[in-house]
């Protein structure tokens, strides 16, 4: 099954610090690096590193970061035929601060990502129709996300929507057309305006979405694991206990591994279990895409 990831591309500018600075405070960082990122690109890279057949549909800037993003896709064997270069526009940028606990804070300048439009979906129709699964996020315009969902439903293509960053403007009617809805617990809380302090509260919040028409809600909860909620069942998949170094991009690692496994097996729970282990491995390494293991590295981790 070919996977189309339709979404964002960023360049991550990452600083590491022992403690997050307070308002007005200047702190010296303990580490710094620049790397390719963006939720769409992250999920595409994770899936491709595990062997998935991925085509990336995104918009990059006509600057050095856009060129670097294209090279990164090709290096990871991703089909770039649907990548658009937005003239006169900078590439998307994410400024990330990671503290010693592994927690992070992120600021985003969308840049070229705002140039990915519904007309691009229509123009790529022949290529997109060859795919069996669309993977979407919310770092590109909502109308583009909706156009992709409509196209998928018209062509019998399954859709996974990662509602990140969370937006109350997201149409529930459109979300209900997706086969998988995959927020983290914070995004879930924002979308349904309910507390998610316990796993039971997460379940109740996710159940409220199922009652409103969503089919498969998968909530990623970091060290608490992931939770599948459908009309028929609730399944908790525990996370592996690891020494976390950097949690940036762990949710994208989960989704990338999930879609790779699901595309090959069609097994939802088994895909979640494998994805949970892949995400756990990613948080033991610094960086986002740099932390994603390839097939051999992941196999070694599972065998250890």
* Residues of the binding site for K(+): 246, 248, 282, 285, 287, 291
Active site residue 290: no
- Separation CA 20–CA 14 (nearest Å): 13
The CA–CA distances, whole Å, from 32 to 16, 29, 281 equal 6, 7, 21
Contact between 38 and 8 (Cβ < 8 Å): yes
Known binding site: residues?
10-12, 38-42, 139, 184, 220-225, 246, 248, 251-252, 282, 285, 287, 291
- CA–CA separation, 113 and 122 (whole Å): 17
To 10 degrees, what angle do helices 268-282 and 250-265 make?
150
Instruction: Find the DSSP H helices in 57-198.
Output: 64-75, 118-123, 125-128, 142-154, 172-175, 185-192
Spot the catalytic one: 63, 79, 120, 252: 252
Closest CA to 228 of 182, 188, 189, 296: 182
β-bridge mates for residue 133, sequence order: 3, 158
Contact status, residue 92 vs residue 39, Cβ threshold 8 Å: no
Instruction: List CB contacts of 24: < 8 A, sequence separation 6 or more.
Output: none
Which residues belong to the active site? Answer: 252
């Amino acid at each position: 099954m070919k996977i189309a990831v339709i979404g964002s591309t960023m360049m991550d500018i990452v600083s590491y610090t022992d403690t997050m600075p307070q308002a007005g405070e200047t702190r010296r960082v303990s580490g710094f690096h620049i790397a390719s990122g963006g939720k769409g690109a992250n999920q595409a890279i994770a899936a491709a590193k595990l062997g998935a057949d991925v085509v990336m549909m995104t918009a990059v800037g006509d600057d050095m970061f856009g060129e670097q993003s294209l090279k990164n896709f090709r290096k990871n064997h991703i089909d770039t035929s649907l990548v658009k270069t937005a003239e006169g526009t900078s590439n998307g940028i994410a400024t990330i601060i990671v503290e010693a606990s592994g927690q992070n804070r992120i600021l985003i300048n969308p840049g070229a990502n705002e140039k990915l439009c519904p007309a691009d979906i229509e123009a790529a129709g022949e290529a997109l129709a060859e795919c069996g699964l669309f993977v979407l996020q919310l770092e590109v315009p909502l109308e583009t996300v909706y156009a992709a969902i409509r196209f998928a439903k018209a062509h019998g293509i399954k859709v996974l929507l990662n509602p990140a960053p969370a937006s109350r403007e997201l149409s529930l009617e459109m979300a209900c057309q997706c086969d998988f809805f995959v927020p983290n617990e914070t995004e879930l809380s924002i979308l349904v305006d309910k507390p998610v302090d316990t796993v039971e509260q997460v379940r109740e919040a996710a159940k409220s979405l199922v009652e409103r028409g969503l089919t498969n809600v998968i909530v990623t909860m970091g060290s608490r694991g992931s939770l599948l909620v459908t009309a028929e069942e609730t399944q908790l998949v525990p996370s592996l206990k690891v020494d976390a170094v950097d949690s940036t991009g762990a949710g994208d690692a989960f989704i990338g591994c999930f879609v790779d496994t699901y595309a090959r097996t069609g097994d939802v729970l088994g895909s979640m279990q494998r994805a949970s282990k892949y995400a756990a491995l990613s948080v033991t390494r610094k960086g986002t895409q740099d932390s994603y293991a390839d097939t051999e590295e992941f196999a070694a981790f599972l065998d250890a």
